[in-house]
């Protein structure tokens, strides 16, 4: 491993090294940088193609890079179809446990039947290649089936996280111009049924372009179904049109697979566009190499499929790699804080991938809960979503991993499709650092002019090259794609991530956090703009600002500042009412911790709210450069 590394370092054991799919990071990294296209061609060879590509990377129209042009593949060809011709046909693809304790399992064969049937249902509803179907569901198998069915027929899906609410859903339906919505009556969370269909009903009132709404019956709670618009999933799946035979559409490598919205600095959420070919290659390669995937593994990514983590690492990458995927519907501590450990034991989970927030939340309940279960099947652990504090890392390593499971702290984004900075199992680890770039990637920490920061110095995180999993554009808004990610380092051709970071003497990357107006609450990404517009949509509010302040469990919490309309009076009740209003418009995760009534907000002369100043004041820190502050 060469010279000694600085700081708190955890070296991999012999056992981990011996079984690792990739044993030498440095050599392969060097090769992947010297011949990036060669590396990515080799990885693409691992997959099936209807027709091989003509060109690995087409960079003739920067920054609109294209990968595997001329190639034909549908992600389903690799995630399902190819397994049906091997022994994996009868391997479990999905093990699902509902919060109440109900269980469902699907072999690859069974999954294929359900996906084919639903593909035919969608076709019978007029869904065609290129259409965007919005999916708003709890964590149930039908969510995965609906996503895969869209992909199979060449339609794109737009999954809206089931924890979002009316306005967030309506806005996303409208932006995608979806005609078809797939939803459910509800799901279970902390022992209670949620009311998804009634939120969907309100959203459909606000964005009337939905012509067909397909609803899964999960909880059996009563809900309003509109004649000729709303249909029960199980009714349609019982009809003769829902045949279990369906040809997979032979899509082009660059055809749209899905869009997924991210919250941005201003205005509407951005629909990140991902495509069949590059995304298939990138997600499956990162999953196979970083999590050292073997056929015997039972893989559990405890995220929600409604976010990119779930798209890439619950659904697509593990299925392409022929893994058995675990999925759980509900809260980690329901009915007891041992729920997860009980499932690890019951299903023999070998790899667990989750977020620092979940780890901190479970750590709070103490060591006795995990110790009550035999979780020795675990051989690798993962973390994603925000920086992991060393204390939580060490607890995870010692108590969950029994000091034998390396922790893969993976840095990436909705925009990147898959892991960008990450260790491999053989990488010496430093708690809190995502360590090194994945193969093919060159990462920099730079100042505004693009000059590299010195070792240990903070700067802006950039990626210096294209990669196959990158988002191709923002739906209907190419200009915004260029301005958000590529404008500041146009000369260099670098991708700007929106995070700050530092790189230490050993070349280890330490991500610090967002530097734009994105707030990470419990690892979930929210835009200040969306929270502020939810506040302003309340009858009493004239202006609002939202900022993030550190929070022990959630990483960050939302704090808001509100200017009331003339004639309105401040009160505790109104503050409470405003918090609830944000929760019902956006979703419970967006509920502000505090609402503070103010007479004015710090603004630049051009009228932009200076959230940085609000934050510094709240933390009692130096307010920094105030030269642009309005009088
Ligand atoms: C932002 C992207 C990628 C899947 C989930 C989040 C933060 C993500 C890490 C990590 C430090 C991290 C960054 C990034 N982030 N992973 N391992 N260490 N920060 O996707 O919702 O698009 O959010 O999450 O700030 O920019 P996302």
pLDDT, average across residues 216-236: 98
Q: Which residue CA neighbors atom 2 of ligand 1 most closely?
A: 413
Task: Dump pLDDT digits (tens) for 445-459.
Answer: 999 999 999 999 999
Interatomic CA distance for residues 450 and 493, integer angstroms:
11
Q: How confident is the model at residue 1 (pLDDT cuts 50, 70, 90)?
A: very low
Does 515 contact ligand 1 (Cβ within 6 A)?
Answer: no
Tell me: pLDDT of 398 over 90. yes
Counting ligand 1 atoms within 8 A of each CB, the residue from 265, 412, 420 with the most, and so the one to mutate, is 412
Bridge partners of 230?
Answer: 213
Tell me: pLDDT of 13 over 60. yes
pLDDT, average across residues 522-538: 92
CA angle 252, 254, 256 (to 5 degrees): 95
DSSP state of 449: T
Q: Which residue CA neighbors atom 6 of ligand 1 most closely?
A: 385
Specify the ligand 1 atom closest to the Cα of 422: 17
Does 530 contact ligand 1 (Cβ within 6 A)?
Answer: no
Counting ligand 1 atoms within 8 A of each CB, the residue from 384, 420, 501 with the most, and so the one to mutate, is 384
Task: Dump pLDDT digits (tens) for 52-93.
Answer: 999 999 999 999 999 999 999 999 999 999 999 999 999 999
- 573: number of CA atoms within 13 Å, CB side? 2
Does 434 contact ligand 1 (Cβ within 6 A)?
Answer: yes
Tell me: pLDDT of 147 over 60. yes
Does 387 contact ligand 1 (Cβ within 6 A)?
Answer: yes
Specify the ligand 1 atom closest to the Cα of 383: 17
Q: Which residue CA neighbors atom 18 of ligand 1 most closely?
A: 387
Specify the ligand 1 atom closest to the Cα of 309: 4
Specify the ligand 1 atom closest to the Cα of 412: 3
Nearest CA among 266, 292, 287, 239 for reference residue 124: 239
Q: Kindly give the distance from the C-alpha atom of residue 592 to the centroid of ligand 1, in angstroms, as a whole number.
A: 21
Specify the ligand 1 atom closest to the Cα of 308: 4
Please give the sequence-ordered ranges of beta strands (E in DSSP) within 130-211, or none if there are none. 132-136, 156-159, 180-184, 188-189, 192-193
32-46, 74-88, 367-381, 617-631: which range is least confident on average? 617-631
Does 286 contact ligand 1 (Cβ within 6 A)?
Answer: no
Higher pLDDT, 174 or 625: 174
Does 499 contact ligand 1 (Cβ within 6 A)?
Answer: yes
Q: Kindly give the distance from the C-alpha atom of residue 118 to the centroid of ligand 1, in angstroms, as a whole number.
A: 32
Specify the ligand 1 atom closest to the Cα of 262: 22
Counting ligand 1 atoms within 8 A of each CB, the residue from 503, 520, 556 with the most, and so the one to mutate, is 520
Interatomic CA distance for residues 137 and 150, integer angstroms:
15
Tell me: pLDDT of 2 over 80. no
Does 355 contact ligand 1 (Cβ within 6 A)?
Answer: no
Q: Kindly give the distance from the C-alpha atom of residue 355 to the centroid of ligand 1, in angstroms, as a whole number.
A: 10
pLDDT attached to residue 3: 66
Does 409 contact ligand 1 (Cβ within 6 A)?
Answer: yes
> Which three-class secondary structure string do you get for 382-428?
EECCCCCCHHHHHHHHHHHCCCCCCEEECECCHHHCCCCECCCCCCC
Does 497 contact ligand 1 (Cβ within 6 A)?
Answer: yes
pLDDT, average across residues 466-494: 97
Does 384 contact ligand 1 (Cβ within 6 A)?
Answer: yes
Q: How confident is the model at residue 631 (pLDDT cuts 50, 70, 90)?
A: low
Interatomic CA distance for residues 66 and 60, integer angstroms:
9
The percentage of the chain sitting over the pLDDT mark of 70, rounded to a whole number, equals 99
**C-alpha dihedral over 479, 480, 486, 488, to 10 degrees?**
110
Q: Kindly give the distance from the C-alpha atom of residue 391 to the centroid of ligand 1, in angstroms, as a whole number.
A: 19
Task: Dump pLDDT digits (tens) for 568-617.
Answer: 999 999 999 999 999 999 999 999 999 999 999 998 887 888 898 999 99
Q: Kindly give the distance from the C-alpha atom of residue 87 to the centroid of ligand 1, in angstroms, as a whole number.
A: 36
Q: Which two tokens stand for residue 495?
A: 């991708």
With contact defined as beta carbons under 8 Å apart, do 417 and 279 qualify? yes
pLDDT attached to residue 263: 79
- 475: number of CA atoms within 13 Å, CB side? 28
Mean pLDDT of the chain: 96
Strands 298-301 and 324-328, how do they pair? parallel
Q: Which residue CA neighbors atom 5 of ligand 1 most closely?
A: 385
Bridge partners of 72?
Answer: 51, 252
Tell me: pLDDT of 265 over 80. no
Tell me: pLDDT of 420 over 80. yes
Q: How confident is the model at residue 497 (pLDDT cuts 50, 70, 90)?
A: very high
Does 411 contact ligand 1 (Cβ within 6 A)?
Answer: yes
Does 510 contact ligand 1 (Cβ within 6 A)?
Answer: no
Tell me: pLDDT of 264 over 80. no
DSSP state of 11: P
Q: Kindly give the distance from the C-alpha atom of residue 497 to the centroid of ligand 1, in angstroms, as a whole number.
A: 10
pLDDT attached to residue 267: 66
Q: Kindly give the distance from the C-alpha atom of residue 516 to the centroid of ligand 1, in angstroms, as a whole number.
A: 13
Does 32 contact ligand 1 (Cβ within 6 A)?
Answer: no
Does 412 contact ligand 1 (Cβ within 6 A)?
Answer: yes
Does 522 contact ligand 1 (Cβ within 6 A)?
Answer: no
Task: Dump pLDDT digits (tens) for 156-170.
Answer: 999 999 999 999 999
Q: What's the Cα-to-Cα distance from 225 to each of 94, 183, 200, 217, 560, rounded to whole Å?
A: 30, 12, 11, 12, 37
Counting ligand 1 atoms within 8 A of each CB, the residue from 287, 511, 590 with the most, and so the one to mutate, is 511
Q: Which residue CA neighbors atom 10 of ligand 1 most closely?
A: 411
């Amino acid at each position: 491993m060469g010279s000694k590394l600085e700081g708190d370092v955890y070296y991999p054991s012999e056992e981990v090294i011996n079984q690792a799919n990739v044993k030498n990071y440095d050599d392969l990294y060097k090769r992947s940088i010297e011949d990036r296209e060669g590396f990515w061609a080799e990885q693409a060879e691992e997959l099936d193609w209807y027709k091989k590509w003509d060109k690995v990377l087409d960079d003739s129209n920067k920054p609109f890079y294209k990968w595997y042009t001329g190639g034909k593949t549908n992600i389903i060809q690799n995630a399902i179809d190819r397994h049906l011709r091997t022994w994996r046909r009868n391997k479990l693809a999905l093990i699902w446990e509902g919060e109440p304790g109900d269980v469902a399992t699907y072999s690859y064969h069974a999954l294929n039947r359900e996906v084919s049937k639903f593909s035919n249902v969608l076709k019978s509803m007029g869904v065609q290649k290129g259409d965007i179907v919005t999916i708003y569901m709890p964590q149930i198998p039908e969510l995965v089936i609906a996503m895969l069915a869209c992909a199979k027929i060449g339609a794109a899906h737009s999954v809206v996280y089931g924890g979002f609410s009316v306005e967030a859903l309506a806005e996303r339906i409208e932006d995608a111009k979806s005609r078809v919505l797939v939803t459910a009556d509800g799901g279970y969370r902390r022992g209670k049924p949620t009311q998804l269909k009634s939120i969907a009903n309100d959203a459909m009132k606000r964005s009337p372009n939905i012509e067909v709404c397909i609803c899964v019956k999960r909880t059996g709670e009563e809900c309003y179904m509109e004649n000729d618009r709303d249909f029960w999933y199980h009714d349609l799946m019982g009809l003769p049109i829902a045949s279990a035979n369906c040809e997979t559409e032979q899509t082009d490598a660059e055809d749209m697979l899905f869009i997924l919205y991210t919250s941005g600095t201003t205005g509407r959420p951005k629909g990140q566009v991902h495509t069949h070919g590059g995304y298939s290659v990138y997600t499956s390669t990162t999953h196979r190499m970083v999590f050292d995937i073997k056929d015997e593994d039972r893989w559990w990514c405890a995220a929600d499929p409604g976010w990119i983590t779930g798209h890439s690492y619950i659904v697509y990458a593990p299925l392409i790699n022929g893994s058995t995927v675990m999925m759980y519907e509900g809260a980690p501590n329901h009915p007891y804080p041992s729920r997860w450990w009980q499932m690890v034991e019951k299903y023999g989970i070998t790899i667990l991938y989750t977020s620092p927030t979940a780890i901190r939340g479970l750590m709070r309940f103490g060591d006795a809960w995990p110790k009550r279960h035999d979780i020795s099947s675990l051989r690798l652990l993962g973390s994603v979503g925000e920086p992991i504090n060393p204390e939580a890392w060490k607890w995870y390593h010692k108590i969950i991993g029994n000091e034998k499971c390396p922790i893969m702290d993976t840095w990436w984004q909705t925009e990147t499709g898959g892991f960008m900075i990450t260790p491999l199992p053989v990488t010496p680890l430093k708690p809190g650092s995502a360590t090194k770039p994945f193969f093919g990637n060159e990462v920099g920490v730079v100042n505004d002019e693009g000059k590299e920061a010195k070792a240990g110095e903070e700067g802006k995180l950039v990626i210096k090259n294209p990669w196959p999993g990158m988002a191709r554009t923002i739906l209907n808004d190419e200009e915004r794609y260029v301005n958000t990610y590529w404008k500041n380092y146009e000369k260099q051709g670098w991708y700007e991530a929106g995070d700050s970071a530092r790189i230490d003497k050993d070349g280890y990357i330490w991500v610090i956090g967002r530097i734009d107006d994105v707030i990470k609450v419990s690892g979930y990404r929210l835009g200040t703009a969306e929270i502020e517009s939810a506040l302003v949509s309340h009858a009493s509010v004239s202006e609002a600002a939202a900022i993030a302040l550190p929070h022990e469990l959630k990483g960050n919490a939302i704090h808001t500042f509100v200017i009331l309309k003339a004639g309105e009076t401040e009160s505790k009740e109104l503050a409470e009412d405003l918090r609830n209003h944000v929760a019902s418009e956006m979703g419970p995760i967006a509920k502000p911790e505090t609402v503070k009534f103010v007479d004015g907000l710090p603004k630049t002369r051009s009228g932009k709210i200076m959230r940085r100043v609000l934050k510094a004041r709240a933390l009692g820190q130096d307010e920094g450069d105030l030269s642009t502050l309005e009088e």
